[in-house]
Amino acid sequence: MFRSNTTWQMLPLVRIAVALIGGICIGEYLSIGLLPSVALALSALAVLIAWIAGRRRLVYAQSVMVILLTVLFGLSVMLIYKRTQRKALPDGIVGYEAVVASEPVVRGKVVMVDLLVASDGGEALLVRASILNDSLSEDCMGVQLGDGIIAYSELRLPESRGVAGFDYGLWLVRHGYNAQTFIWRDAWNKVSVNMNYLSLIQRVKLYALKNRKKMTDKLSSSLSDRSSMAVFMAMTLGDKSALTTDLKEEYSIAGASHVLALSGLHMGILYGFLIFFLRGQRRRWFAQFLLLTTIWTYVLLVGMAASILRAALMLTVFTVVRMVGRESHSANTLAFSAIVMLLANPSALFDAGFQMSFMAVLSILLFVPLLNGFMPALVRRYYILRKVWDLLAVSCAAQVFTAPIVAYYFGRFSTYFLLTNLLAIPCVTVVLCLSCVLFMLYWWDGAWGILIDILSVVMRLLNDALSWVASLPFASIEDLHPTVLQVFLLEILLFICWRICRMFTPH
C-alpha cells in the first residue's frame, strides 16, 4: 500500500489525517489560555508561504506548508473545543430544569444519570449527576429517560475522584460533559420541561434512545435467560446496562469484548447481510440508497452510539464513492472518516473506543493482504477453507495494532483470541442477521416468539463457548501496564516490521 512515493501520493487524506491528529495532540497539552487566534494567524502565514511556494513550483516546500497548516488547524480546533466545553457555572446551590438524557444506573447508594441542564446562555449543559438513593425508594428509581426534572444542587467542573490510575474528571471532559453534580434525595422533582433549549441533534438522540428503550423492554420480557438477554441487548442495541461484572470479565479474558460493543464488526456484518439481499436490484443507485437508509436507521435505533457512528460514516463514504463511479482507496476512506469525526469532536481522539476502532481497521488493511500472500494452495482450492483462513487472517491482523492499546487501557492480552473469534464470529453473524428480521417483525408476535427461541439457543451456545475459553489455562496475560510512550514506540516498531515484510513479499 505504501511501497512507493507514487502510492503515498495517492493517499492525500491519510497525510492530512496524520497532521490533524498531531495538531490535536499538541492542542490537548497546551494551556486553554492560549488564544486560538495565535494558531489561526500562524495558519494564515503557512497559507501564504504555501501559495508562494506553489507559484515558484517548489513542490516539497508547498507540501511541507500544507502539512504545517493542517497541524495548526488541528491545534486551533482543539483549543476552540476546550474553550467551548468550559462553560461558566453558577456559584453555590442553584435551582435548574433538566431533561434526563440516559438510562439511570444504580451505583451503590446513588443513581448515576446524564442530565441536559438549561443554562442562562440558552443552550444545554451536559451534566453527570449522582442522585442519592440510600433507601432505594421508588421515587428515585421512578426517573426515566426523557423525563423532565427540577433540581437543586451545586454544578461543579468535572474533577477526579478516588480511582487509582484513572482521571475521572478528564474522562468526563473528553466525553463532552460540562459539569458534574450530586443531588440529595429530596432535592429534586419530576416536572414538565420545555425542551426548546435542546439542539436538533440532542432531540434526535433522545428520541432514538426512547425507541431503543421500548425495544429493550420487550426483549427483557421475552428472553428468560438473563445472561443471554444482557449479551443480546449489548450486541444488537448497544445497551450494556444488564451486563454483570462477571459476564464482562469472562468476555474480556476470552478476548471477545469487541462482541459486546457495537462497532465496525457489527456494522460490517449488517452491511454484508443487506448487500446479499439487494444484489439483484437492477437499479443500482436505488439499492445503494436503500442500503444507506437502512444503515442510518439502525444507527438511530441503537441511540447513535459513537462507535457505530464511526462505522456508519466509513461505510457511507465507501458507498457514495462507488455510486459516483470513483475508485475508492480504503485507507483514504478510513482517513476521511477520522477527519470528519475529529472535526466534530476532537477530544474523541483520546477515547479508547475511537483508538481501537480505527487502529483495528488500519491493521486489517495493512496485514490481511500480507497474510493472504502466505495462503497455501490447498486452502485456495476449497471455499470453506478460504473462509476459515480469511477469518483467521482478519482476527490476527486486527490484534497487531490494537494489542498495545488494549494492554495500556486494560492491562491484559488474551492469548486464545483466534479460538475465540472462530467460535464467536459465526454466532454473532447469525444473531445479527436474525435480529434484523426480528426488528422488522417487531409487530408480529408469532414470528417474534419463534425468532426469540432460536436466538436464545444461539446466545446460550455463545456464552457457554466463551466461558469455556475464559476458563482455559493461561487464557490471558495480566498486569500489563505500558506507558503512552511505550505504546507509541511499539506501534511504530510494528509498522516498520510491516514495511520490512512488504519488501520481501511478492505482489
Are 185 and 132 in contact by the 8 Å Cβ rule? The answer is: yes
pLDDT confidence bin for 58, thresholds 50/70/90: low
- Averaged over 23-29, what is the pLDDT? 86
Task: Kindly report which listed range (133-137, 354-358, 466-470, 495-499) carries the lowest average pLDDT score.
Answer: 133-137
Confidence (pLDDT) at 6? 45
- Averaged over 160-171, what is the pLDDT? 68
Task: Kindly report which listed range (59-68, 118-127, 247-256) carries the lowest average pLDDT score.
Answer: 59-68
Confidence (pLDDT) at 3? 46
Best CA proximity match to 154, nearest among 93, 73, 238, 204: 93
User: What is the C-alpha radius of gyration for the chain, rounded to an integer number of angstroms?
Assistant: 25
Confidence (pLDDT) at 506? 57
Confidence (pLDDT) at 2? 44
Task: Determine the Cα–Cα distance for residues 210 and 103; give it in Å rounded to an integer.
Answer: 9
Q: Are strands 124-132 and 179-183 parallel, antiparallel or unpaired?
A: parallel
Confidence (pLDDT) at 153? 92
Could you give the angle at the alpha carbon of 499 between the alpha carbons of 71 and 327, nearest 5°?
70
- Averaged over 386-391, what is the pLDDT? 82
Are 100 and 153 in contact by the 8 Å Cβ rule? The answer is: no
For residue 357, give Cα distances in angstroms to 110, 180, 270, 306.
32, 28, 17, 11
Confidence (pLDDT) at 427? 87
* N-terminal to C-terminal alpha carbon distance within the chain: 11
Cell numbers standing for residue 474: 493461561
Which pLDDT tens digit goes with each residue over 207-248?
A: 888 888 888 888 887 777 888 888 888 888 888 878 888 888
Backbone φ and ψ for 430, nearest 5 degrees, come out as -60, -45
Task: Determine the Cα–Cα distance for residues 261 and 83; give it in Å rounded to an integer.
Answer: 31
Name every residue whose Cβ is closer than 8 Å to that of residue 315 and which is 6 or more positions away in sequence. 267, 268, 271, 295
Name every residue whose Cβ is closer than 8 Å to that of residue 78 and which is 6 or more positions away in sequence. 23, 24, 26, 27, 28, 346, 347
Name every residue whose Cβ is closer than 8 Å to that of residue 375 and which is 6 or more positions away in sequence. 386, 389
Task: Kindly report which listed range (162-176, 352-366, 477-491) carries the lowest average pLDDT score.
Answer: 162-176
Q: What is the dihedral of CA 197, 202, 207, 212, to 10 degrees?
A: -150
Could you give the angle at the alpha carbon of 155 between the alpha carbons of 152 and 161, nearest 5°?
120
pLDDT confidence bin for 60, thresholds 50/70/90: low
Average pLDDT value for the chain: 80
Checking if the pLDDT of 369 tops 70, the result is: yes
Long-range contacts of 470-478 (CB under 8 A, 24+ apart): 470/249, 470/250, 470/251, 470/253, 470/254, 472/416, 474/415, 475/253, 475/254, 475/414, 475/415, 475/416, 476/252, 476/253, 476/255, 476/412, 476/413, 476/414, 476/415, 477/412, 477/413, 477/415, 478/411, 478/412
Which pLDDT tens digit goes with each residue over 65-108?
A: 778 888 888 888 888 888 887 777 888 889 888 999 888 888 77
User: Tell me, what DSSP letter sits at residue 136?
Assistant: -
Are 208 and 304 in contact by the 8 Å Cβ rule? The answer is: yes
Confidence (pLDDT) at 164? 54
Task: Determine the Cα–Cα distance for residues 161 and 170; give it in Å rounded to an integer.
Answer: 11
Task: Outline where DSSP puts E strands in 70-147.
Answer: 93-100, 105-107, 110-118, 124-132
Task: Kindly report which listed range (33-37, 293-297, 298-302, 442-446) carries the lowest average pLDDT score.
Answer: 33-37
Cell numbers standing for residue 444: 408480529
Beta bridge partners of 124: 118
Checking if the pLDDT of 493 tops 90, the result is: yes
Most confident of 50-54, 130-134, 502-506: 130-134
